[in-house]
Amino acid sequence: MLKKIRAYSVHLFTAAGAVLAFWSLILIARGDLQSSLFVIAVAVAIDSLDGTLARAADVQTYSPNIDGGQMDNIADYLNWVFIPVFWAYQFLDLPFWAGSLVLLASLFGFSHKQAKTEDHFFRGFPSYWNVVILYLYILDAGAVVSSAVVLILAVLVLLPVKFIYPSRTPRWKKATIILSVPYAIMIFVMLVYLRETPLWLILISFYYPVYYVVASVYQSKNN
């Protein structure tokens, strides 16, 4: 019984992402730009932990009637795609058509049978739209540049290229996780200061996206 309770508790933890998406949507509608980003950040933190917790709790065995993977995908689509796109529409003046293309591309990306490959990579750009819109806002990119960036990445969502799944891609896994810790701290600081973030901090923070892309390309070719 205890193991079943633990398994369902993990599912509830994952499902909390949908509640956070709803909360963030309310904050965006109220014009609370910064608080909505912090709520999205909490949802991202949940997403970074729930998979590991699910495997530790063996949810497939002790809660076989609940598809944790599907639940995770729903919460992820809300917090990594839908809410960030709506946020960009409100605060970055991202055109409706550009946001719509992002939503469609990511929906096809999430729905692909090999969205998460058998060797534990993401297929295509893994819809890190919340991170993308944060950088675009902090750098005051404007509607035109923002549209161009999201459209390029939307195309990458659909391409059969591999990107590291940080918590599951076995090669360099420890390095990927270790490097993500200071990056997470930098993102938190950027959330606090937004457009008042020092340029040097923004530039330094790019170490992780650069590492992520380079490592993904290298590993996909040498896997």
* For residue 102, pLDDT beyond 80: yes
Q: Is 99 helix (H, G, I), strand (E, B) or coil?
A: helix
Q: What is the pLDDT of residues 29-65, one digit of tens each?
A: 999 999 999 999 999 999 989 888 988 888 888 888 9
Q: What is the pLDDT of residues 179-189, one digit of tens each?
A: 999 999 999 99
* For residue 222, pLDDT beyond 80: no
* For residue 122, pLDDT beyond 80: yes
Task: Please indicate whether residue 21 or residue 7 has the higher confidence score (pLDDT).
Answer: 21
* For residue 5, pLDDT beyond 90: no
Burial class (CB in 10 A: 0-12, 13-18, 19+), 63: buried
The whole-angstrom distance between residue 56's C-alpha and the CA centroid of its chain comes to 22
Task: Please indicate whether residue 1 or residue 192 has the higher confidence score (pLDDT).
Answer: 192
**Tokens representing residue 5 in the block:** 């309770």
Give the mean model confidence (pLDDT) for residues 150-166.
Answer: 95
* For residue 171, pLDDT beyond 90: no
- As a whole-number percent, the residues of the chain with pLDDT over 90 amount to 78
Give the phi and the psi of residue 94 in degrees, each rounded to 5.
Answer: -65, 125
pLDDT band at 176 (very low <50, low <70, confident <90, very high): very high
Amino acid identity for residue 126 in this structure: P
- Measured CA to CA, the distance from residue 54 to residue 65 in angstroms comes to 14
pLDDT, position 26: 98
Task: Please indicate whether residue 214 or residue 118 has the higher confidence score (pLDDT).
Answer: 214
pLDDT, position 223: 66
pLDDT band at 96 (very low <50, low <70, confident <90, very high): very high
Q: What is the pLDDT of residues 202-211, one digit of tens each?
A: 999 999 999 9
Q: Write down the mean pLDDT value for the chain.
A: 94
Exposed e or buried b for every residue in 114-124, given b needs 16+ CB within 10 A? ebbbeebbbbb
pLDDT, position 16: 96
Q: Which of 9-13, 105-109, 148-152 has the lowest mean pLDDT?
A: 9-13
Give the mean model confidence (pLDDT) for residues 71-94.
Answer: 96
* For residue 27, pLDDT beyond 90: yes
